Amino acid sequence: MAPPPLTSTRKQRISNANLFLPTCIVLFIIIIVAVLLRYDFVSPSFPAAFGLHLPSPAVDSTLNSYHDAAPLVFDSLHGLLKQWSNSYAPNGHSIVVGTVLPHTQLFHGKHGPGLPDKLQFFAFDAEMSLGIFGATASSVIHTLASTRPLRVLYFDGQSATLTETGTLDSQMAILGGEVPSVPEYNHIYDENQRALELCALVDDLGIDGVVRMNAGFEILLCNWPQSGVEHLFASNLTLPGNRERKMDKSLPNDPNRQPPLGFGNAFGEQGSFEWLRSATWHYGNYGQGGPAFGHVKLDLCTLVSFYDPELTSLGSLHYGRIIGNQTFQNGWGLRRGHRLVGLSSRDVKTVRSRVRENIGGSKCSGVEWAVLAESIVSQHKTRLLDISETLGSHQPASSIVTRIHELSHAILYAYIEYPFAATGRSADEVEALTVSRCSSVYTSKVNPSRLSKSEVVLYHSINVVLSRLCSSEWDLLRWSEKYTTRLLGERDDIDPSRIQREIDDKQQLVHSLLAWIGWDNWSQCEAQCLADQLCAIPTWPVVYAPGFPQGGIYAVNNTKTSKQDLAEFWRPKCINRADFDRGGGRGREPDYQFPDIP
């Protein structure tokens, strides 16, 4: 056979050469981008500009360690400076650098004349000071104001609540280097000693004080005149006709919850109720209350979390752990009962080092992490709760499926690319694209290499949370879509013999998701409270719990407390002043402190 003409061979070689060069260039680009991504030199969204579809960072294998930690970090982030969230998760796990704004009013109650000591606790709401000192003799309330920004450390949770069940763990860890499982009495109730130790830390870090919360927010200032806080005026609250009331232990507990024994006055009970009212002002848009506490601005690129997976000594002690007599989840909150007992000295050193590094000026990306968390909760939570309620309803199966399709589609609509037929994508390809867009939309332009150590934890946690949310929501959409619009090309008819089983499976999927992220707990009172009522939840030391000892707080190791009692105790409920006077008040005696529950 004759060889092909030279011109034909040459054309073939030229054609092969023309294919070879572009192929090499494409392979080269892919290799370079993969290397850059591997070492975080570019944002994970960078390949999209070239039409390349690489795995979402939310499902990167390096994030496996965040599966358990992510919802806990996310819940902590979303709950910062919120009275409601930190009442349901009183054992705080975050330490954040913050700033108290100039011209913030501060209040301090004391007995007798003279200014407050230089090292002193101050309330941000007058009602807290009035609730503590307004019902006793020789009471004076001092009003002060900041004249410059005050640098502070914020301990989240109910970090000003004096209990042995974990509310003080983060302070014990950073101050003493360990957290005893059963702290000594003075370790809990000696606030003067704790203030001295906190101020030693404050002085060492070169800041002004510490912000904590119980039934409201307070600040410990270690030298308030030096911090630029100025005294405005003092009000003498001593009423004529005060009389001393002495405790008679032979008498039964007072069912009407009179004010604490001592020199009382006519406004004692009102003071406690108004203190509780002021706490609702900072609920964080839960429970028909006000927004998050606004006088402190947190620098979230400095957030140090005890949920950080790098703190390995706590890795197996948090997620899903049941402690004491906690035998049910709903209503307790995702993080109730979590302790720092078992924290290693190595991890304590890591936390202290990071706090010091953050005070010194950690590199920050400028990402508003709290805004991202709020946006994610707003987009997903209410519709998922609606989905959960729909799946558990007694509506006809066709109505349930239609409603699930509407709600899941509403969440994912912005990330779906229609029409499917024109794109030529299979249902699996549509799923991959939709879930990838949904789970990376908030962080796709964030470059992890430019984040502080604290921000890296927030970044990974948000990615993991979004990945699970979006994947589960797509599961619901794809399931319901085959019975409704059928645009994915998957068609089915509702079969009465199996549809209820499918609905039950989806209900379990949603219940597991809500429990994992902590959205299965109460966030409202069952009905809209009347004008004279508050939506009340347990907030030490002003607690509503009728039928229990003085102060409305269960006695330690109360064997008469049933699971039903505990469920009722934590359930949000509308109460008015008359209700509170019958079953509320302040608990002062250590025997009647916070319940012996997680």
203 and 291 in one domain? Answer: yes
Q: Is it the case that residue 557 has pLDDT exceeding 70?
A: no
Q: What is the mean pLDDT of residues 119-145?
A: 90
403 and 341 in one domain? Answer: no
Q: Give the lowest-confidence range in 104-108, 132-136, 226-230, 253-257.
A: 253-257
> Does residue 556 form part of some domain?
yes
349 and 290 in one domain? Answer: yes
Q: Is it the case that residue 354 has pLDDT exceeding 80?
A: yes
Q: What is the mean pLDDT of residues 326-353?
A: 77
Please give the Cα distance from 385 to 400 (Å, whole number): 14
Q: Is it the case that residue 81 has pLDDT exceeding 80?
A: yes
182 and 95 in one domain? Answer: yes
> Does residue 555 form part of some domain?
yes
Q: Which of 487, 517, 547 is the last residue of a domain?
A: 517
Which residues form the domain of 101? 81-246+262-317+332-359
Contacts of 404 (CB under 8 A, 6+ apart): 387, 390, 391, 476, 479, 480, 506
Give the pLDDT band (50/70/90) at residue 506. Answer: very high
Range ranked top by mean pLDDT from 46-60, 458-472, 519-533, 546-560: 458-472
230 and 346 in one domain? Answer: yes
Do the beta carbons of residue 135 and residue 191 sit within 8 Å?
A: no
The number of angstroms, rounded, from the C-alpha of 275 to the middle of its chain's C-alpha atoms is: 23
pLDDT for position 66: 83
Q: What is the mean pLDDT of residues 522-545?
A: 87
Q: Which of 58, 73, 70, 97 is nearest to 448 (CA)?
A: 58
Q: What is the mean pLDDT of residues 276-283?
A: 96
> Does residue 325 form part of some domain?
no
Q: What is the mean pLDDT of residues 423-430?
A: 84
> Does residue 446 form part of some domain?
yes
Q: Is it the case that residue 592 has pLDDT exceeding 90?
A: no
Give the pLDDT band (50/70/90) at residue 242. Answer: low
492 and 344 in one domain? Answer: no
Do the beta carbons of residue 431 and residue 342 sit within 8 Å?
A: no
> Does residue 8 form part of some domain?
no
pLDDT digits (tens, 9 = 90+) for 292-307: 999 999 999 999 999 9
Give the pLDDT band (50/70/90) at residue 338. Answer: confident
CA distances from residue 556 to 133, 165, 568, 594, 595 in whole angstroms, order as listed: 26, 11, 18, 7, 6
215 and 95 in one domain? Answer: yes
Q: How many domains does the chain have?
A: 4
pLDDT for position 63: 59
> Does residue 597 form part of some domain?
no
pLDDT for position 534: 95
pLDDT digits (tens, 9 = 90+) for 511-528: 999 988 988 777 789 889
106 and 182 in one domain? Answer: yes
Q: Is it the case that residue 38 has pLDDT exceeding 60?
A: no
The better pLDDT of the pair 289, 212 is held by 212
> Does residue 130 form part of some domain?
yes
193 and 44 in one domain? Answer: no
pLDDT digits (tens, 9 = 90+) for 394-425: 999 999 999 999 999 999 999 998 877 667 78
Q: Which of 279, 300, 476 is nearest to 374 (CA)?
A: 300
Q: What is the pTM of this model?
A: 0.83
> Does residue 226 form part of some domain?
yes
510 and 543 in one domain? Answer: no
pLDDT for position 165: 83
232 and 182 in one domain? Answer: yes
Q: Is it the case that residue 440 has pLDDT exceeding 50?
A: yes
